[in-house]
């Protein structure tokens, strides 16, 4: 996973100069990039709305390799990234009795560990991709977690209107906002407060930039921290940048949001 540096945080990956420089340094990646760009252009033409487009991207990626579709280049990396997510939340107070919503649960890279740890029925995973949810069920079977009765649900948006109010102690979205335009993020932040338990929190990762905000292929979106914290605050949430996550070997950054009157308390306290 690339390390965040002042240079990487200032880079604008959408600029032609950056693309040319990257191609010269990584010639073997030029052909795969061109093929992906051509595929994505066709999928955007077929699916002009972002959710429909990204669902088609996931269908294509999952057909090739479900673990790569969620951003893992090897099975060992898939395991390591899931462990990293699990350890971080456990260190931050996740307990078996807590109820957890995993937004963009994918093929349960981290989810199978949460399901194994949480009390039966306390894990709720949602995703926009039916293909990756089928893979998630295979992961569930592989780890023999059927008796934990996790919820795995297809969704089209992040209004979260089908979920009960004040229900979830922990809401988690790993590598979701990094693939989302700002209106999708705003929709989620406008609604997540309703489903949070009184002392719950919502953790999400994002691709951070300290330069101009930009996107690449409508797949990867780069945001400034203050843009996302301001969105959260607009909806009455308290947001803070998670400095301890920055110490981990992961290319994305993390923000935690919580209800304004319970921001300092651990979940379930």
Does 91 reside within a domain? yes
Q: How many domains, in total, are found in the chain?
A: 1
Pairing of the two strands 196-208 and 214-216: unpaired
Residue 100 lies in a domain: yes
Contact 189, 238 (CB under 8 A): no
pLDDT tens, residue by residue, 47-58? 999 999 999 999
Domain for residue 165, yes or no?
A: yes
Answer whether residue 1 is part of any domain.
no
Residue 148 clears pLDDT 60, i.e. is over it: yes
pLDDT interval class at 72 (50, 70, 90): confident
- For residues 20 and 29, what is the distance between their CA atoms, to the nearest angstrom? 12
Question: Is residue 45 included in any domain, yes or no?
Answer: yes
Which of 8-22, 76-90, 100-114, 244-258 bottoms out in mean pLDDT, i.e. has the lowest?
8-22
Q: Read off the pLDDT of each residue in 119-136 and give the average, rounded to a whole number.
A: 97
**Segment 104-127 mean pLDDT:** 97
pLDDT value of position 263: 52
- Helix, strand, coil shares, percent, the chain, to 5: 45, 20, 35
Predicted pLDDT at 204:
98
Residue with tokens 């400034």: 224
- pLDDT at position 118: 98
Query: Which tens digit of pLDDT belongs to each residue from 151-200?
Result: 999 999 999 999 999 999 999 999 999 999 999 999 999 999 999 999 99
The pLDDT value recorded for residue 190 is 98
Residue span of the structural domain in which 44 resides: 6-262
Scanning the chain, the segments in alpha helix (DSSP H) are 6-10, 16-25, 30-46, 50-64, 66-69, 75-91, 111-117, 130-142, 182-195, 225-234
194 is a domain residue? yes
Q: Name which of 207, 132, 130, 210 is nearest 174 in CA terms.
A: 207
The predicted pLDDT at position 264 comes to 46
Contacts of 38 (CB under 8 A, 6+ apart): none
In a domain, 269, yes or no: no
Give the CATH number, domain containing residue 237. 3.40.50.150
Question: What's residue 238's pLDDT?
Answer: 97
Please report whether residue 267 resides in a domain: no
Q: How confident is the model at residue 265 (pLDDT cuts 50, 70, 90)?
A: low
């Amino acid at each position: 996973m690339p390390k965040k540096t002042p240079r990487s945080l200032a880079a604008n990956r959408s600029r032609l100069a950056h693309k040319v420089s990257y191609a010269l340094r990584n010639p073997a990646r030029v052909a795969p990039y061109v093929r992906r760009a051509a595929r994505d252009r066709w999928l955007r033409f077929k699916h002009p709305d972002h959710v429909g487009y990204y669902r088609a991207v996931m269908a294509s990626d999952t057909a090739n390799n479900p673990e790569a579709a969620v951003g893992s280049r090897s099975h060992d990396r898939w395991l390591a990234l899931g462990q990293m997510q699990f350890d971080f939340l456990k260190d931050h107070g996740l307990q078996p009795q807590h109820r957890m919503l995993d937004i963009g649960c994918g093929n349960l890279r981290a989810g199978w560990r949460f399901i194994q740890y949480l009390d039966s029925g306390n894990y709720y995973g949602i995703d926009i991709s039916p293909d990756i949810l089928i893979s998630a069920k295979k992961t569930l079977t592989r780890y023999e977690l059927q008796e934990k009765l996790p919820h795995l649900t297809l969704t089209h948006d992040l209004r979260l209107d089908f979920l009960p109010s004040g229900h979830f102690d922990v809401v988690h979205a790993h590598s979701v906002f990094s693939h989302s335009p700002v209106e999708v993020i705003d929709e989620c932040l406008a609604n997540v407060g309703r489903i949070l338990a009184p002392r719950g929190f919502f953790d999400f990762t994002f691709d951070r930039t300290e330069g101009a905000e930009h996107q690449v292929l409508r797949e990867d979106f780069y945001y400034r921290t203050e843009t996302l914290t301001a969105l959260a605050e607009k909806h009455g949430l308290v947001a803070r940048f998670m400095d301890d996550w920055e110490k981990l070997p992961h290319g994305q950054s993390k923000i935690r949001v919580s209800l304004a009157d319970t921001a300092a308390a651990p979940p379930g306290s």
